[in-house]
Structure 1
Amino acid sequence: MNKQDHIRNFSIIAHIDHGKTTLTDRILEITRAIPQREMRDRYLDKMDLEQEKGITIKLQPIRTEYKRSTADQNQNFILNLIDTPGHVDFSYEVSRSLAACEGAILLVDLSQGVQAQTLSHFQTAKKLGLALIPVINKIDLNLNSSAEQQLISLGFKKEEIIKTSGKTGQGIEELLESIVKKIPPPSGSPQKPLRGLVFDSYYDDHQGVVLLVKIVDGDIRFQKQSFPRLKLMANDTSFVPLEIGYLKANLQPQPRLTTGEVGYLATGLKNIKLGAVGDTITKSEVKKEKLKITALPGYQKIKPRVFAGLYPAEAQNINNLKEALSKLSLNDASLTFTPESSPILGSGFRIGCLGQFHLEIIRERLEREFSLSVISTAPTVPYRVIKKDKEVITITSVSNLPPPDQIESIHEPWIKAVIISPHQYLGKVMRVCQISRGKLQSTDILGQENSQQLKLTCLLPLNELFENFFQRLKSATSGFASFDYELLDYRRSDIVKLDFLINRQVIEPLSLLLPRTKAVQKAQEGVHKLKKLLPHQQFAVPIQAAVNGRIIARTDLKAIKKDVTAKLYGGDRTRKDKLLQKQKKGKKRLKRFGKIKLPLNLFPRFLRHQ
């Protein structure tokens, strides 16, 4: 066997909280990838956010070695493991990981069985033609479960299902044996010209853009006192690597990366836009026309599903915010941002991401990693607006909605949702879908006829995901339901713009696009919430909600009562009346010309309620 035959590139794919990261810890422990004194729980979760929230946000590769002993020989296998996220908002990270692998471990929790994300990742891996190893995890729980039957219903044989415990380490050796037997080695050719797939990247202040690559063909080696000049084919950018190496516990510099290996390239490039994920690396001096070097398939560009405005709490930090977003977008291809401005919040950016949780993570990373305090506006989905002159525009901000008299129709994105739930909650799940303007398409049994799990397919508007859909679903099923979705198409809807006015001034960052049927309820809830959040003024403040300019809800914030007669002791009554009359005139004038300074924490507190 040559070195390439001893390489195994694989990912672990699973629904969130099925023990994927704990299983990874045991693999690293048994293969001694990490020194014992440095080993800790959730080792590959590098971010503080990942450790605190107990979930994986970013894909994380690591190289380890498995020493396999048989009756006649000892063999060393190189295992390149890519840990993947489980949350639905980060499913794009999973597809990127799988594209750099020849196989994957399909992990299922014994107590929960096959869930929505399990099915989604399974289908993605099958489309890519990867070798799959079915694994039931958490067998230390000793529960009766239908997980095995559910895996069999997906096409696996009973004898190929491995049972493990990430907690105790049971079954890990059997799993490692299965990895080297069932997952094929990389199929590239060392004799062909260099081609490497960029599956992730990040920015380092000293080494510039650092690319994580899989060498598909050829190799990169240190010769004549330097590395060869390389080229990124998509943007025709050339560079000489400062350093190359393996992705072990720490970056481990090496003189060579060869076919099938996964490693890193420190490019030295300072322009963070050049390290595009999905690009192909080749040697700069090779004429691709002559040798017919074609770029690797790369990745389908993913479109953001959710948009929101992000503004620095302090206006002077606008350039710092731009630089921070640029660095985050380098290794998060789903994050987009464009400049925008607000008369109330000043200059900021309209960002696009994959979901509400993704938006929350971006906001927290800006605060933790870049020390930036930011204000976020209400998230919205992209709407297609057909104007009366037949022009079709896509809007990602409420402020870009044309006037009502110019609009012929508004179309909103719909999704196909897959819900996995115990059968006894069928009625409640159907009710949640109905409340969310959904349409139930089908109901299937997952596994055998007596299985306790149902798979429901439902169509509903994407915007409903921000109306506590998942929270309602979890509540209706006592926390047992799981959920995954894919974008379907755009459908015509009766969408209106809901504005909130404070002292008769529209507060644009609080504006919403929503179905007309929900406008009155949202308006009433919103004005009463604002009344609780706003500080009292020296004059009465009207708080209103309007749809297309028509007021549909109102409440008033009463003025602060100040006793202007407190200093008077006795005397003529007319003295008190004069002071009270003067106060009344002053408040009337303030009501007409007074300005209200809105506290910055008003926006996040109001949006949390909404």
Structure 2
Amino acid sequence: MKNIRNFCIIAHIDHGKSTLADRLLDYTGSVTEREKQDQLLDNMDLERERGITIKSHAIQMDYIFEGETYVLNLIDTPGHVDFSYEVSRSIAACEGALLIVDAAQSIQAQTISNLYLALENDLEIIPVLNKVDLPSANPEEVTDDIVDLLGCDPEDVIHASGKTGFGVDNILKAIIERIPAPVGEPNEPLQALIFDSVYNPFRGVETYFRVINGSIKKNQQIKFIATGKTYGADEVGTLKLKQQPKQEIKAGDVGYVITGIKEAKEVKVGDTITDSANPTKNAIGGFEDVKPMVFAGIYPVDTEDYEELRASMEKLQLNDASLVFAPESSAALGFGFRCGFLGMLHMEIIQERLEREFNMTVITTVPNVSYHAFTNKNPDEVIVVNNPSDLPEPSTLNRVEEPFIKATIITKADFVGNVMGLCIEKRGQITNQTYLTTERVELNFDMPLAEIVFDFYDRLKTVSKGYASFDYHPIGMKQSKLVRLDVLLNAQSVDALSALIHADNAHNIGKKMCEKLKELIPRQQFDIPIQAAIGAKIVARETVKALRKDVTAKCYGGDISRKRKLLEKQKKGKKRMRQVGNVEIPQQAFMAVLKLND
């Protein structure tokens, strides 16, 4: 065990984590010339295009240092805030972490939040200053920032470049010298932590784990503590670039197990694996079920594609167990699903994967969060509201609680006023303001999660000219004055456009929604009123004017009564059409509601 090192990489999005991982693999000879490619561990097209890691990966490298062979297990982590639970489990499986900071961009919010996670788990932190070869790099100043943050010596910060491979040998040396070897009892009952799982269409779910105590052997009967189910380990092995089957994986090492499980839901990240005949007394702490934070309706454009959409969602869920969905129907859009996501990025990714991998064009309704409603009849009973139409009638409603978050924003000192203005507009309350350096400020806000779901991130980037980084974590439910805003088209309520909104903003948002829909809804042969209503009270109205055919064109000259007769006849026809007329809503209208401030 003394020659094993388990480590992860912590970085903000786009600080060069995947590129540096490539260099480590090259340097240790873990990949052949044929297998080499950029961002080797990001194997989804989406990850490569956006330059982000969505699914974490693990890979084992062998490295000879001073005549001894060391086994290095790199457990890669996603960089985005939506996947912070996965990151926390990957960190729990390691003894050390490489903290990568871009020499041009300095420390960002996500880096700090994942760093705190690593420090809570007592990991040895190795600071790495990446991209030092860039003309815009500022190594001295950023090194000072890292020293202030970690309290280490400037000599401890390793200068490197993922692009040129400079400094990679120093990183490997530091991993071996500074990160402690894993501790564990090989003779105790099996205790292993699941940090990831991947669905293989031919073999079922492959579970990735780190053995804490004991060992896991091929064909052993193993038990998953959280689900209480027992399986046979058909194959165990280590994770090189290709899987390498082994007879046994011992304490301290990282590996995979295939048990023929068909559903991703049965393997929970953070769960403990133990021997079914001789189980461990204590499960590994920190396990929790992943909770969706953002909800939206996903509907097929064609109602006939409903079953196909269900099949696509089920296949997608095999790969991504954090996607939750249940069938629902809407009067405006027909049959579809109410889906729960970890955050807005997760929602975008699912939508894009549905389009790319399954050829499904879908309509997504306005995303919202999960609220708690309480009625007068039973003030202690919680009604969970994931869809605005589930909110009880205002007359029976006692109170509504909504989820709040603690937001951390790091920005340049010049943009503090703009960022504060944006957060206060979004009902945020400032709790702290710290100058990290003379140039960079950390702001802390308590904000409702619902306010950051729409366009907060885009607008934050706009007001700070791209210099603000943002991170958040939930802090529980608080009571708020919320109302349901309905949109009526031609006096018919369109449930897909309903939203739960704070009472103070309802009038403004209702007005903006009506104006936006007026631009997008095509004109018909009759007037269409667009109204925003709270309960029975109309708070805003716009009218899409009718297209008129010029029926009097053929009457050149002649008596006015002839023209009037024709106009009266047209009026009657329009009235009859109005009574039975339905309005088609274009797909952009559903998405436009999200971009009310553009």
**1:90 is the counterpart of 2:83:** yes
Partner of residue 467, structure 2:
480
Change in CA separation of 1:245 and 1:571 when aligned onto 2, cut-off 3 Å: farther
**1:203 is the counterpart of 2:199:** yes
Partner of residue 487, structure 2:
500
**TM-aligned CA deviation for residue 192 of structure 1:** 2.3
After superposition, residues 377-392 of structure 1 pair within 5 angstroms as 377-389=365-377, 390=379, 391-392=381-382
**1:6 is the counterpart of 2:3:** yes
**TM-aligned CA deviation for residue 297 of structure 1:** 2.6
Partner of residue 271, structure 2:
279
Query: TM-score, structure 1 length as denominator?
Result: 0.91
Q: Which amino acid letter does the alignment assign opposite residue 444 of structure 1? A: T
After superposition, residues 584-599 of structure 1 pair within 5 angstroms as 584-599=571-586
**TM-aligned CA deviation for residue 11 of structure 1:** 0.6
Partner of residue 393, structure 1:
383
Please identify, of 126-135 and 170-179, the stretch whose mean Cα deviation from structure 2 is larger. 126-135
**1:108 is the counterpart of 2:104:** no
Please identify, of 271-280 and 528-537, the stretch whose mean Cα deviation from structure 2 is larger. 271-280
Change in CA separation of 1:315 and 1:187 when aligned onto 2, cut-off 3 Å: farther
Change in CA separation of 1:600 and 1:419 when aligned onto 2, cut-off 3 Å: closer
**TM-aligned CA deviation for residue 564 of structure 1:** 5.0
Map Cα deviations across residues 229-250 of structure 1 (whole Å, 9 max, x no partner).
3332332323334433222223
**TM-aligned CA deviation for residue 394 of structure 1:** 2.7
**1:59 is the counterpart of 2:49:** no
**1:36 is the counterpart of 2:33:** yes
After superposition, residues 411-450 of structure 1 pair within 5 angstroms as 411-446=401-436
After superposition, residues 573-588 of structure 1 pair within 5 angstroms as 579-588=566-575
Name the SS of the counterpart of 1:404 in structure 2: coil
Work out the percentage of aligned pairs sharing the same amino acid: 46
**TM-aligned CA deviation for residue 455 of structure 1:** 1.7
Equivalent of 1:25, from 4, 8, 22?
22
Conserved? CA contact 1:423–1:452, under 8 Å: yes
Partner of residue 121, structure 2:
128
Distance 1:455 1:379 in 2: 28
Partner of residue 532, structure 2:
545
After superposition, residues 512-531 of structure 1 pair within 5 angstroms as 512-531=499-518
Distance 2:508 2:358 in 1: 39
Partner of residue 266, structure 1:
258
**1:191 is the counterpart of 2:187:** yes
Distance 1:15 1:411 in 2: 32
Distance 1:412 1:481 in 2: 26
Partner of residue 47, structure 2:
50
**TM-aligned CA deviation for residue 215 of structure 1:** 2.2
After superposition, residues 130-149 of structure 1 pair within 5 angstroms as 130-141=123-134, 142-143=137-138, 145-149=140-144
**TM-aligned CA deviation for residue 452 of structure 1:** 2.1
Partner of residue 150, structure 1:
145
Partner of residue 534, structure 1:
521
Partner of residue 365, structure 1:
353
Partner of residue 245, structure 1:
237
**TM-aligned CA deviation for residue 600 of structure 1:** 4.2
**TM-aligned CA deviation for residue 135 of structure 1:** 1.3
Name the SS of the counterpart of 2:101 in structure 1: strand
**TM-aligned CA deviation for residue 145 of structure 1:** 4.7
Equivalent of 1:166, from 162, 169, 177?
162
Partner of residue 12, structure 2:
15
Please identify, of 248-257 and 600-609, the stretch whose mean Cα deviation from structure 2 is larger. 600-609
**TM-aligned CA deviation for residue 566 of structure 1:** 6.9
Map Cα deviations across residues 574-607 of structure 1 (whole Å, 9 max, x no partner).
7776554433211101112222233445423444
**TM-aligned CA deviation for residue 134 of structure 1:** 1.2
Change in CA separation of 1:145 and 1:479 when aligned onto 2, cut-off 3 Å: farther
Distance 1:325 1:101 in 2: 33
Conserved? CA contact 2:77–2:87, under 8 Å: yes
Partner of residue 324, structure 2:
336
Q: Which amino acid letter does the alignment assign opposite residue 399 of structure 1? A: S
Distance 1:457 1:181 in 2: 37
Name the SS of the counterpart of 2:117 in structure 1: helix
Map Cα deviations across residues 55-99 of structure 1 (whole Å, 9 max, x no partner).
11111111122221x2xxx12211111221222222222112112
Conserved? CA contact 2:237–2:249, under 8 Å: yes
Name the SS of the counterpart of 1:38 in structure 2: coil
**TM-aligned CA deviation for residue 435 of structure 1:** 2.1
**TM-aligned CA deviation for residue 221 of structure 1:** 3.3
Change in CA separation of 1:331 and 1:128 when aligned onto 2, cut-off 3 Å: farther
Q: Which amino acid letter does the alignment assign opposite residue 109 of structure 2? A: A
Partner of residue 226, structure 2:
234
Q: Which amino acid letter does the alignment assign opposite residue 379 of structure 1? A: P
Distance 2:460 2:492 in 1: 37
Unaligned runs of at least 5 residues, structure 1: none
Equivalent of 2:294, from 285, 288, 306?
306
Please identify, of 416-425 and 120-129, the stretch whose mean Cα deviation from structure 2 is larger. 416-425
Distance 1:383 1:276 in 2: 25
Distance 2:45 2:571 in 1: 55
Distance 2:251 2:311 in 1: 35
Equivalent of 2:208, from 196, 208, 212?
212
**TM-aligned CA deviation for residue 363 of structure 1:** 1.2
**TM-aligned CA deviation for residue 487 of structure 1:** 1.4
Map Cα deviations across residues 26-68 of structure 1 (whole Å, 9 max, x no partner).
1112112222232121111111111111111111111122221
Conserved? CA contact 1:280–1:298, under 8 Å: no
Partner of residue 456, structure 1:
443
Change in CA separation of 1:531 and 1:428 when aligned onto 2, cut-off 3 Å: closer
Q: Which amino acid letter does the alignment assign opposite residue 138 of structure 2? A: L
Map Cα deviations across residues 396-451 of structure 1 (whole Å, 9 max, x no partner).
2101111111112222222211121222333333222322222222222225xxx4
Distance 2:547 2:235 in 1: 66
Change in CA separation of 1:303 and 1:150 when aligned onto 2, cut-off 3 Å: same
Q: Which amino acid letter does the alignment assign opposite residue 9 of structure 1? A: N
Conserved? CA contact 1:111–1:145, under 8 Å: no
Q: Which amino acid letter does the alignment assign opposite residue 144 of structure 2? A: Q
Change in CA separation of 1:323 and 1:256 when aligned onto 2, cut-off 3 Å: farther
Conserved? CA contact 1:102–1:185, under 8 Å: yes
Conserved? CA contact 1:201–1:330, under 8 Å: no
Conserved? CA contact 1:272–1:326, under 8 Å: no
Map Cα deviations across residues 475-513 of structure 1 (whole Å, 9 max, x no partner).
332221211112123333222211111111010110111
Distance 2:270 2:424 in 1: 40
Distance 1:541 1:204 in 2: 52
Equivalent of 1:347, from 318, 332, 335?
335
Change in CA separation of 1:31 and 1:560 when aligned onto 2, cut-off 3 Å: same
Name the SS of the counterpart of 2:182 in structure 1: coil
**TM-aligned CA deviation for residue 572 of structure 1:** 9.3
Distance 2:158 2:264 in 1: 43
Name the SS of the counterpart of 1:552 in structure 2: strand
Root-mean-square deviation (CA), in Å? Answer: 2.5
Change in CA separation of 1:338 and 1:12 when aligned onto 2, cut-off 3 Å: same
